[in-house]
Structure 1
């Protein structure tokens, strides 16, 4: 395990104290609510997990059982959470948010998202990526230390080009999992992705078509593809997706760079992609890479009504010509 120099430790400690102050954890209440930080954390975590037992809440928050019991009682009295039957263990009850609690959760999330977004606007995209990855790693390390867990170093993500066994199923799975959570897409979307990916992979013998994957060891955790048989000499960017485990590690930016370099090398007059409104992280990647929004329309082809968007990046050589 690498030794941390004293200066680095002091810098991390100083930054941690500043974050605690700036995020409002020194105040009696947090996130524009009337509740202390522990209660706000409880409401957010219950929103993430639907329900929790008191024992699970103690483990999650790292607080004493008596402290959690008092906090839960106050939140029940305030109408934010309620006790329900635990179908897995009749000896205990589960805790979940009430309708009022869900409203409080929405207000907390809105406040916190605006707070983080405003702060991140002062950083470059590279700095934002570094912040996301650094905080995630540091938080995981703190958690592992508290629980006494030996945390192995994460394997570096590698970018590989071309077809490999299982790629179609893995791309479909990542799309289905992510968009079911994000937009409530279901079977029609999954079937559409499966058909499209199978068709595209059958055309990789054409050198103008290609696919890349991000690998964690041998596991596929991200993908992107270029369909070079678009109309009018255009390329179509397709199947750009990341597994949750790959987010915040720069994989998306690296995959997109591979695809764009491929398009420029092959002299496509433009690269086009279709997405839908609301995918702000991906939109920022596209815009940083030179894509511009050219068309919007309502659509239901993915199993739910969304605002479809078409982004286009003109080839630098074609633009100069």
Structure 2
């Protein structure tokens, strides 16, 4: 994926991000139609008031096709939060996830955050393995019923 570029998120990416999250999570996890609106709310909050010096989103693109995303947002108290980490299935297994995670964590470090947190589900095994390999620690795991399905929700943290 040497011709892959990582570029800043723009408002033009919003509809694509919502659709990809809704479609992929419905197909792969059985999520209901409440998931897309959650993604839309996250993006609306980001668009409405993010601090471009401390918060950023990236889109991975190849030959003009969007293949992934990752966001770093301020969680307060010197903590950054990783959000909206997504890889299109055709881009998985090629090192793109590792590259996106590295750019997001590097930005958080350079920006002066002391640590970083994220929220995910146990079923995202490849992503969880990537987090663990990068030094993240699982801090909480609990069964929940969200988006119409039973899940195991996880919280992860890393010192930067």
**What is the aligned counterpart of 2:5 among 126, 134, 158?**
158
8 Å CA contact 1:168–1:197 kept in 2: the answer is yes
Q: How many residue pairs get matched?
A: 160
Give, in angstroms, the shift of residue 280 of structure 1: 1.1
Structure 1: tracts of 5 or more residues without a match: 1-153, 316-321
Shift of 1:281: 0.6
Unaligned residue ranges in structure 2 (runs of 5+): none
Higher relative contact order (CA 8 A, sep 6+): 2
1:170 alignment partner, SS class: helix
Contact between 2:33 and 2:147, CA under 8 Å: does it hold in 1?
A: no
Larger Rg: 1
The reply on whether 1:168 has 2:19 as its aligned counterpart is: no
- Aligned residue for 1:211, secondary structure, equals strand
1:35-67 Cα shifts (integer Å, max 9, x gaps): xxxxxxxxxxxxxxxxxxxxxxxxxxxxxxxxx
CA distance, structure 2, for counterparts of residue 225 and residue 302 of structure 1: 22
1 CA distance for matches of 2:126 and 2:18? Answer: 20
- Once the two structures are TM-superposed, the CA of residue 165 in structure 1 deviates from its matched residue by 4.4
Q: CA deviation at 1:224?
A: 0.1
Q: How far apart, CA to CA, are the structure 1 residues paired with 2:147 and 2:109? A: 30
User: What is the DSSP-based 3-state SS (H/G/I as helix, E as strand, rest coil) of the residue aligned with 1:225?
Assistant: strand
SS at match of 2:93: coil
Higher strand share: 2
**How many Å separate the matches in 2 of 1:262 and 1:227?**
10
Among 35, 45, 65, the alignment partner of 1:189 is 35
1:183 shift after superposition: 1.4
Aligned-residue RMSD, C-alpha: 1.7
